[in-house]
Amino acid sequence: MTIQIGEQIPEVILKRIREGVETIDTRALFEGRKAVLFAVPGAFTPTCSEKHLPSFVQHFEDFRKRGIEVFCVSVNDPFVMQAWGKTQHVPDGLQMLADGNADLVKALGLEMDASSYGMGIRARRFALYAEDGVVRNLFIEAPGEYKVSSAEHVLANIG
């Protein structure tokens, strides 16, 4: 079942690279803060690299001015997420999170089966806005679409 507005983000362990590979749980990421989490089907894939992540890089400071943290998640390993972030000139503070086993996207009910493309289980393209770990806005793309999860759309539609 897909997570709904008003529900708590499930507690799941993710990976990121800072001084090395770190393990972080979603409760620690979201607790006590405003945050946007956006998910891409795959690092280095066309729409994700040409549009989705770049929109959040371009508007990162707009989110920060509103006191909103920005997290990017993909069903990739932390090394891929780090390399992708470097090639995309991701600013310090925009966290690149690895959901290597799709635990988070499955817990959110936002996974998709991309096996026909040789990619296995991946995240659907989406963005959500949460306050203190509670989902306040949810923007889920239709298959093959990129409209409602862009940074521009999210900024225009959150409180």
| Catalytic residue IDs | 48
What is the rounded distance in angstroms from the CA atom of residue 157 to the CA atom of residue 23? 31
Residue 89 burial (CB < 10 Å; 0-12/13-18/19+)? exposed
Beta-strand (E) ranges in the chain?
Answer: 13-17, 21-25, 34-40, 68-74, 95-98, 111-113, 121-123, 126-131, 134-140
